[in-house]
Amino acid sequence: MADATTQVAGTTSEAAALPDPHPDWPEPVGGWLCLDVANSLEGRHKDVPDDRLRTYADLVHWVARAGGLTADQVAALLALAADDPNGARRELRRAADVRDAVFRTFHGLATAGRTDPADLAVVQESHAEGLRHARLVPGAPTFTWAWEPDLRLVRWLVARSAVELATAGPLARVKACASEEGCQYLFVDTSKNGSRRWCSMAHCGNQAKARALTERRRARRPTAR
């Protein structure tokens, strides 16, 4: 993960991995935390998209799978959510708003070269809120940000990731999947020549190749007289 590391007070910076409660979830392909979170809503072109983040626990586990949280941090956040389920539900909704603003921002840049100032404001607001609750602590080799355990932490981390990508990341390498099946996954193209087209060769890339092969075979068939 390209994003900078974080710490939550009362946890270690590294911990043994927790069992994956969602083995059916797709592997993260975004290459940047905020993009992986934006990809948690599938089928945005459909009347009823498939939202992977149905609960606050889903949000925490999704971000952990993308490399944004350690196992200790996951445990601390899930404990907070169990103690304050109403607060967790409210925070899930706010995190979803940031996620969707992140998607529109980077999808707009990748496909049309423009953004909506309203979406940038949503991201900036959460980023600024997170900084107000953060403190600098010594790290290795540089200082890093640290927070007390807080239900808002995941949203703050996603917003910070988006700001870092927008201001100091490989912004020109952010792309949207070229699949014709409606996949709109976002990713950072890390290929040498910037030629990556699909979110995943194993899924969308193979589908596109199979479709092209079928079309070529149809084109070679003799025309019925």
Query: DSSP secondary-structure letter at 38?
Result: H
Q: What is the pTM assigned to this prediction? A: 0.85
Q: What mean pLDDT is predicted for residues 138-148?
A: 92
Query: DSSP secondary-structure letter at 52?
Result: S
Q: pLDDT above 90 covers what percent of the chain?
A: 68
Q: Which residue has 């994003």 as its token pair? A: 3
Question: pLDDT, tens digit, for every residue of 88-133?
Answer: 999 999 999 999 999 999 999 999 999 999 999 999 999 999 999 9
CA 139 to chain centre: 25
Contact assessment for residue 139 and residue 2, using Cβ atoms and an 8 Å cutoff: no
**Which tokens sit at 108?**
């707009």
DSSP SS3 for 5: coil
From the number of C-beta atoms within 10 Å of its C-beta (0-12, 13-18, 19+), residue 127 rates as buried
Which domains are seen in the chain, by residue range?
A: 6-220 (1.10.3300)
Q: 48: pLDDT confidence band, cut at 50, 70 and 90?
A: confident
- DSSP string of 89-105, one letter each residue: HHHHHHHHHHHHHHHHH
Contact assessment for residue 164 and residue 4, using Cβ atoms and an 8 Å cutoff: yes
Query: Which of 48, 45, 40, 9 lies closest to 22 in space, CA to CA?
Result: 40
Question: pLDDT, tens digit, for every residue of 172-193?
Answer: 999 999 877 768 899 999 999 9
Distance, in Å, from the CA atom of 60 to the CA atom of 214, rounded to the nearest integer, reads 41
Q: Write phi, then psi, for 32 (nearest 5 degrees).
A: -155, 135
